Amino acid sequence: MTEKTSPLRVGLFVTCLVDLMRPSVGFGALHLLARIGPSLDVLVPDQQTCCGQPAYNSGDLVSARTLAQNVIETFEGFDRVVVPSGSCAGMIVKHYPNLFAIEDPWRARADSLAQRTWELTSFLAEHLDLNDTGAAFAGTATYHDSCAGLRELGVKHQPRRLLATVEGLTLNELADSESCCGFGGLFSLKYPDVSGAIVDQKAQAVENTNSDLLVGGDLGCLMNVAGKLKRRGSKMRVFHIAEVLANLTDACGIGEDQDA
Amino acid sequence: MSNPIPPGHEPQCHDFQAGAKKALDNKVLQALLERTLKSGFQQRRLNAKARLPEYDQLRDQARDLKNHVLDNLDVYLERFEAQLTKAGGHVHWAKDAAHAREIILKICQDAGAKTVSKGKSMIGEEIALNDFLDANGVVPIETDLGEYIIQLRHELPSHIIAPAFHLSKEQVGETFKEHHTHLDQDRDLSEPSVLLGEARAELRDKFLRADVGITGANILIAETGTAMIVTNEGNGDLTQSLPPVHIALTSIEKVVPTLEDATLILRLLARTATGQEQTVYNTFFTGPKRQGDLDGPEAFHVVLLDNGRTDLLGSEFRDVLRCIRCGACINHCPVYAVTSGHAYGWVYPGPIGAVLSPHFVGLDEAHLLPSASTLCGRCEEVCPVHIPLPDLLRHWRTRGFAAKKGGKMQRLGLALWAQLARRPGLYHAVMALGVNGLKLMGGKRGAFKSLLGAGGWTKTRDLPTPQGGTFQARYRKGER
Ligand code: SF4
């Protein structure tokens, strides 16, 4: 990219969970994108709501389509759409096109959005080749590979590459890091016992690394594991990778009490 | 769609929640699952894959081969029938489970059979053959160790390649003591090899007395009219070669064009299923004993079961017909890893079961199974023939939603959510209110220990509280 080209218009899709539960992930993402400088023009359109994944995975295709259309329209004017979640990005990239028949005019628009959409760490590491985050954390961390990002989008080395730029941070790999944490969206509410048993194994593996932090790229999974760690009495702190890379680890981690 | 199922074999898929709970509370089972899946099946598959650089290429080839077969299924099945008939065998087309049971019973009766020996066959489970034969005066004797154990215990298989996967060796020992009453009750059965030896001794005699042998068939080879099976115990060989009549019970999608194609499937099957380079016994049957043959059955029958498979062919579930029943999707499923097989309530467990069961036993009965998945995608990742299992599970969810299965509350919640989320202005206002309310309730706490309306979430884990304010509200106020 030369100096003279007009900046790349980037839309941040914060996702409904980040919007509701943990705005700092969105602010962290903005901070990271801002580091790139004037070659990016980053906006958070206010028409965005939810990507429709809960409806899609429940077989409610009518609702899923409605929500997809809203996202497609909202981000139509952007060159790139960045999402701090592998599963919401996967929904847009892999599943939106399937929601519309080939002859449906929405199909082309869905295809176009799918091509412009990036999961945050892939965008930073692969698309922008970001090698300097300016972040620091004196301690150890382990990383959970969330399933949708990993298998639908190939997110694996990107977060590790970015974490390597955090001064003072040592990464301890998680045993069986590619196994599911048991979240599965509405699955965790519909089958709480099964989901609880799966996340218990994940929490055990996380504790076994003896790290200071658990880091991941999907808030749903992180809330699940953080909730289980807390129930087990673990003191491990849990953060979204955008927060770690944006140096927000002084604030409370996910599930952490304010006076802890 | 579903066939008359003999009494005692009613599927229990609707009871998934209770079945799962039972498994979760079973400490022995949980320890067993943890030990045998990760360091067992999963690791062995990885090792085998690492030893075969072209493993992934073979998967693509196998997918293409199976797709080709499905596109030309009639051609290859008819070729198979013609070739086998030429070799002196008989092919029987069974449209459904009841039909297959009748065909088999008739063959047994015509042979004057009192006992039949059986090799492991999932199709036998699918059509609930044992109880049916038993009820009609023909005693079936399972010769595969795992099948033999679950037959003694009157249980369904808990895994498609390891039927007694849910049992510890201690439990097997207890079962043997209970049933082999003629043996010393104080004998030491703590070693697996001793258990195997005892089962062999019990079975050997029955092999010799069987009038008919029934096996499955993993692959049918059209060009030669050959049926073949893989076993690790060699029981399949004895089952097919000792009795005067051999029936291979199998399903229509198992056919491949050539021997060469069969080897492609075999190379993948053993590695993916058990991590072996090759299954120990690979047995090919082409017709009955010929003149000059030293052994083999006098008569050879192949029963080709459809049971709704041709319906699948024309549906959104077509891809599932590529399945070679290796069990890898089961071995890598996080749900199966804590619930084991019986929770799924019918013969096929795990991801493949959650796709097959609604088809065979109906969505009314089995609609919970497709939703009992996190859709993590590991099943598809390990499937040797690239079956998109998560997509197929979603297709069932779509059918289930259209048929109004699943909880009323969930439907209502989704509808409300969708209504709200398509009105961004209202959505943001409502969400800000809700989040602030939750934040107020949470106070300084980082997580709720229990929260009304959180489903069962807080039963098993805490629920992190919201940070405070929605992103949108804070961003609009100028926060960066
Ligand atoms: S669906 Fe794939 S992984 Fe599962 S049993 Fe069939 S072939 Fe094996």
Give yes or no: residues A138 and A79 share one domain.
no
> Is residue A13 domain-shared with residue A100, that is, in the same domain?
yes
For residue B287, give the DSSP letter: S
Q: What is the DSSP string of chain A?
A: --TTSPPEEEEE---HHHHHH-HHHHHHHHHHHHHT-TTEEEE--TT----SHHHHHTT-HHHHHHHHHHHHHHTTT-SEEEES-HHHHHIIIIIHHHHS-TTSHHHHHHHHHHHHEEEHHHIIIIIS-------EEEEEEEEE--HHHHHHH--SHHHHHHHTTSEEEEEPPPTTTTS--S-TTTHHHHSHHHHHHHHHHHHHHHHHTT-SEEEES-HHHHHHHHHHHHHTT---EEEEHHHHHTT-TTS--TT--TT-
* Strand, coil or helix: B118: strand
Residue B73 token pair = 């299924």
Asked if residue A78 and residue A117 are part of one domain, the reply reads yes
Across A232-236, B5-9, B329-333, least confident range: B5-9
Q: How far is A231 from chain B (nearest CA, A)?
A: 5
Question: Is A115 in the same domain as A23?
Answer: yes
Model confidence pLDDT, tens digit, residues B357-372 = 999 999 999 999 999 9
Q: What's residue B162's pLDDT? A: 93
Query: What pLDDT digit, counting tens, does each position of B52-63 carry?
Result: 999 999 999 999
The answer on pLDDT for B276 being more than 80 is yes
The answer to whether residues A28 and A120 belong to one domain is yes
pLDDT at B274: 94
Q: For residue B466, give the chain A residue with the closest CA.
A: A21
- The reply to whether A114 and A142 lie within a common domain is no
Residues in chain B: 480
Residue at which a domain ends, from A104, A125, A146: A125
CA torsion A15-A17-A23-A29 (nearest 10°) is -40
| pLDDT recorded at residue B121 | 94
Provide, as residue numbers in chain A, all residues whose Cβ is less than 8 Å from the Cβ of B394: 56-57, 59
Q: Is residue A3 part of a domain?
A: no
Q: Tell me what pLDDT residue A253 has.
A: 98
Q: Which residues contact B110 (CB under 8 A, 6 or more apart)?
A: none
The DSSP line for B180-209 is: -TTS-TT----SHHHHHHHHHHHHHHHHHH
A171: in domain = yes
CA B323 to ligand 1 centroid distance, Å: 5
pLDDT at B206: 81
Mean pLDDT value across chain A: 96
pLDDT single digits (tens) B349-359? 999 999 999 99
Residues A110 and A206 in one domain: no
Residue A241 sits in a domain whose CATH number is: 3.40.50.11810
Q: Has residue A2 got a pLDDT over 80? A: no
- How many Å lie between the alpha carbon of A5 and the closest alpha carbon of chain B? 26
In a domain, A79, yes or no: yes
Spatial neighbors of A256 by CB under 8 A, at least 6 apart, are A237, A238, B446
Joined together, the tokens standing for residue B1 give 């769609």
What number is the average pLDDT over the span B317-325?
Answer: 98
Q: State which of A95, A125, A155 marks the end of a domain.
A: A125
**pLDDT of the residue at B411:** 87
The pLDDT value given to residue A1: 47
pLDDT of residue B203: 87
A90 within a domain of the structure (yes/no):
yes
One domain for residues A101 and A150: no
What is residue A4's predicted lDDT score, i.e. its pLDDT? 61
Give, using CA atoms, the residue closest to atom 2 of ligand 1.
B383
* Structural domain range at position A207: 133-245
A171 and A100 assigned to the same domain: no
For chain A, the domain total comes to 2
Residue B7: which pLDDT band, with cuts at 50, 70 and 90?
low
Ligand 1 neighbours, Cβ below 6 Å, are B 323-329, 352, 382-385, 387
Q: Where residue B1 falls among pLDDT bands split at 50, 70, 90?
A: very low
Q: Which pLDDT score, from 0 to 100, does residue B377 have?
A: 98
Q: Which among A125, A144, A170 is the end of a domain?
A: A125
pLDDT score of B5: 60
Mean pLDDT estimate for chain B: 94
Determine contact, residues B246/B299, Cβ cutoff 8 Å.
Answer: yes
**b vs e for A11-42, b when ≥16 Cβ sit within 10 Å of the residue's Cβ?**
bbbbbbbbbbbbbbbbbbbbbbbebbeeebeb
Same domain, A74 and A94: yes
Cα B343 to chain center, whole Å?
A: 12
Kindly state the average pLDDT of the residues B426-454: 92
Check residues B96 and B242 and name the one with the higher pLDDT: B96
User: Whose C-alpha lies nearest to ligand 1, atom 7?
Assistant: B323
Q: In which residue are the tokens 């609702």 written?
A: A63
Is a pLDDT exceeding 90 seen at residue B262? yes
Taking only the tens place, the pLDDT of each residue in B162-203 is 999 999 999 999 999 999 999 999 999 999 999 999 998 988
Convert the pLDDT of each residue in B372-418 to its tens digit.
999 999 999 999 999 999 999 999 999 999 999 877 888 888 889 99
Which residues between 340 and 359 in chain B have a beta carbon less than 8 angstroms from any beta carbon of chain A?
A: none
Tell me, yes or no, whether A258 lies in a domain.
Answer: no
Q: Please give the average per-residue pLDDT across B320-343, as a whole number.
A: 98
Q: What's the mean pLDDT in B241-249?
A: 92
Domains of chain B plus CATH, in order, are 13-309 (3.40.50.10420), 409-476 (no CATH)
CA of A49 to the centre of ligand 1 (A): 37
Using the Cβ of A45 and the Cβ atoms of chain B, whether some distance falls under 8 Å is answered with no
Best of B67, B159, B325 to mutate for ligand 1, by most ligand atoms within 8 A of CB? B325
Residue B8, pLDDT score:
64
Residue A260 lies in a domain: no
A83: in domain: yes
Is 50 exceeded by the pLDDT of residue B2?
A: no
Question: A187 to chain B, minimum CA–CA distance in Å?
Answer: 6
pLDDT one-digit tens code per residue, A122-166:
999 999 999 999 999 999 999 999 999 999 999 999 999 999 999
Considering the domain architecture, whether residues A149 and A240 belong to the same structural domain is answered as yes
Q: For residue A255, how far is its CA from the centre of ligand 1 (angstroms)?
A: 38
User: Has residue A215 been placed in a domain?
Assistant: yes
Residues A42 and A68 in one domain: yes
Specify the CATH number for the domain of residue A42.
3.40.50
